[in-house]
Amino acid sequence: MSQPRVIITAPVPADLREQIAARCEIIDVPTGSNLLETLGKEQLANIDGIICTVRSKFDESVFDAFPRLRVVSNFAVGYDNVNMPAATARNVLVCNTPKVLDGAVADLTFGMLICLARNMVNGDAHVRSGAWAGKGAPALTHDIRGKTLGLLGMGRIGRVVAETAKAFNMKVIYHNRTRNTEAEAAGVAEYRDRDALFAESDFLSVHIPLNPETRHSVGAKEFAAMKPTAYLLNTARGPVVDEAALIEALKNGTIAGAGLDVMEQEPLPASSPLCELPSVVLQAHVGSGTVETRRAMIDLAVRNLLDALSNTRPQAIVNPEVWATRSESINA
């Protein structure tokens, strides 16, 4: 029996690549490449699995070009690059890498929060430019202790951010589609309705997935409800926030500033108005960007791929109904 054929578009360390090569035939495709344009029709027809980043898009036309495809293993916790109904309808497992990046993303969220409150990026520039010697110390900044952190979304990452905030004596409130009564009972966070969350927060941190319902769900209405001294933080997905409305809110002083690890267009062009605003801290979608976390993520992505191809239940499945159907046919 021939080995399964897999496409690799994600960066895979040599030792993990050897594990894949021992059980599969590998076809390498550059990250972000259009799979339908890069591969020939015969190659497309004989692919069993794919390990990829969110830069690889899977809509109905892509799935139709891979009639033998059994698994898409995303090197990410998000999966907005995949048309999930199309994948499920074609019996394709979609896997991701949850849990292993929660701490790293929470750390970056809090790092941006502190940078904003204490104006650390501009403070660094003040010292480097020599302005300290000529103009003295920069303007006073603000404490975070005693302030209110609002979490839009209380999943795994939101929970870690909430627990971190408690170490800084912050009050934590949250809004989620489903209330987290366990977190409330443990004193981690207090529930608020959505409007109250935006109105009360000194820092509003976004932790919701991107889907048709959440796209641009944080916009002009939400910014108008926030305090003029409040800050927005986004380490989720760029299009969750209406970027044009955010820029207007920042320019007009509707809110005090923003910390963004994700944007609507990535990489963010230097011509973006966000790059000109001193009240904004920008990062290059590096919430999970530590050596330890990225290794844990690719470990899980590779395990998900190999398990799916060997009819072993992967650790992290986005559409478990596909596995249930597949298991029934295997055990029949």
Whether 5-100+292-331 and 102-282 share one fold: the answer is: yes
Q: Domain limits of the chain?
A: 5-100+292-331, 102-282
For residue 75, give the nearest of 223, 240, 289, 330 by alpha carbon: 289
- For residue 331, the model assigns a pLDDT of 61
Q: Is 332 helix (H, G, I), strand (E, B) or coil?
A: coil
pLDDT digits (tens, 9 = 90+) for 154-176: 999 999 999 999 999 999 999 99
Give the mean model confidence (pLDDT) for residues 295-313.
Answer: 97
CB atoms within 10 A of CB 289: 15
Residue 73 dihedral angles phi and psi, to the nearest 5° = -105, 105
Q: Establish whether 216 is a catalytic residue.
A: no
Mean pLDDT over all residues of the chain?
96
Q: Establish whether 175 is a catalytic residue.
A: no
Q: How far is 252 from 280, CA to CA, in rounded Å?
A: 14
Catalytic residue among 90, 118, 156, 285: 285
Catalytic residue among 190, 266, 276, 292: 266
- C-alpha distances (whole Å) from 67 to each of 53, 92, 103 are 21, 10, 38
- C-alpha distances (whole Å) from 41 to each of 60, 61, 66, 273, 288 are 16, 13, 9, 43, 35
pLDDT digits (tens, 9 = 90+) for 104-126: 999 999 999 999 999 999 999 99
Confidence of residue 326 (pLDDT cuts 50, 70, 90): confident
pTM recorded for the entire structure: 0.92
Q: Establish whether 237 is a catalytic residue.
A: yes
Catalytic residue among 175, 192, 237, 294: 237
CA dihedral (171, 227, 288, 27) positive or negative: positive
Out of 3.40.50.1860, 3.30.230.10, 3.40.50.720, 3.40.50.1100, which CATH number does the structure's domain 102-282 have?
3.40.50.720
- For residue 327, the model assigns a pLDDT of 76
Q: CATH assignment of 5-100+292-331?
A: 3.40.50.720
Confidence of residue 329 (pLDDT cuts 50, 70, 90): low
Give the mean model confidence (pLDDT) for residues 268-274.
Answer: 98
CB atoms within 10 A of CB 323: 18
Among left, alpha and beta (phi > 0; psi -120 to 50; other), residue 99 is: left
